[in-house]
Copies of this chain bind each other. A is one copy, B any other.
């Protein structure tokens, strides 16, 4: 894995800049009392790779019709808020009890458990508020059926994410087979990554296009690939590079791909999943330049 050159994912940097601005615009639009406001900003604005928003924008860029782009931007914000809520709750003492996230104190370390709990809670409802808002789009409102589809995709993915968490906790200290491990990760990580793609897909293609099933295939492959890569990086990376505690999976005896099949085989599997992802994108030809670039980055990332 380390032999593949790290792609200069320009498209990812552009996405990071856009989502950072849009998240700040969205959060500032809400009236939230302190210390919750500070906890919410801490949890959301610290950065991170912003993979989900980047996939959302890149999927929208499959089409030259950008008339619904404001709804894509709202979807990107909403999906990142859901991701951030899950981080705040995952880090809590009753869950992973993590003290460090993106090189910074986790939300409950900085603000206390009660505020971290409530920050996660409000981030989830704020995600749906953003979807139903007119943020980034004062003039034109997007057709209600599209927003409704976005909501359905987001809500379902959020529920699946929680189910994946439970399956993951249940599997700790147990040897699970590959089928079960995939079930865990298709829910825990895959569902939200796929949702990022599908929320943009239904907005841009409005559900009538052959593109939708291809993007579903792509989302399934890249969502699982992301988690396999995450498992690998937990083994081979340092805490400094990772920005969170490395080696944590083995420490708590988590079921991971390296634990299941060995590190080399896990790397081969990650490559296979990425190949599947690239194959699904082939349908879009040169229009998929952005999605291809992000996929390349995900395969070669170091953290």
> B89 and A159: CB pair below 8 A?
no
How far, in angstroms, from A59 to B166 measured CA to CA in the complex? 38
- The number of times this chain is found in the oligomer is 2
Q: Say whether A115 faces chain B, with CB atoms less than 8 Å apart.
A: yes
The A120-176 residues at the B interface (CB cut-off 8 A) are 120-122, 124-126, 128-129, 131-133, 143-145, 147-148, 151-152, 154-156, 158-159, 162-163, 165-167, 169-170
**5 extra interchain contacts, Cβ-Cβ under 8 A, other than A33-B166, A95-B114, A126-B159?**
A94-B114, A128-B154, A129-B152, A129-B156, A132-B152
Q: Say whether A193 faces chain B, with CB atoms less than 8 Å apart.
A: no
- For A31, list chain B residues within 8 Å (CB): 163
> B128 and A162: CB pair below 8 A?
no
How far, in angstroms, from A267 to B95 measured CA to CA in the complex? 43
> B158 and A125: CB pair below 8 A?
yes
Residue in B33, B148, B165 whose CB lies within 8 Å of A132:
B148
> B117 and A95: CB pair below 8 A?
yes
How far, in angstroms, from A132 to B146 measured CA to CA in the complex? 12
How far, in angstroms, from A125 to B89 measured CA to CA in the complex? 14
- For A148, list chain B residues within 8 Å (CB): 132, 144, 147-148, 151
Q: Say whether A109 faces chain B, with CB atoms less than 8 Å apart.
A: no
Residue in B124, B126, B159, B169 whose CB lies within 8 Å of A129:
B159
- For A126, list chain B residues within 8 Å (CB): 155, 159
Between A and B, 27 residue pairs with Cβ closer than 8 Å are A31-B163, A33-B166, A36-B163, A89-B118, A94-B114, A95-B114, A95-B117, A118-B162, A118-B166, A121-B124, A122-B159, A124-B158, A125-B155, A125-B159, A125-B162, A128-B154, A128-B158, A129-B156, A129-B159, A132-B148, A132-B152, A133-B152, A143-B144, A144-B145, A144-B147, A148-B148, A151-B151
- For A118, list chain B residues within 8 Å (CB): 89, 162, 165-166
How far, in angstroms, from A95 to B125 measured CA to CA in the complex? 19
Q: Say whether A291 faces chain B, with CB atoms less than 8 Å apart.
A: no
* Nearest-Cβ distance from residue A255 to partner chain B, whole angstroms: 14
Q: Say whether A30 faces chain B, with CB atoms less than 8 Å apart.
A: yes
How far, in angstroms, from A101 to B124 measured CA to CA in the complex? 25
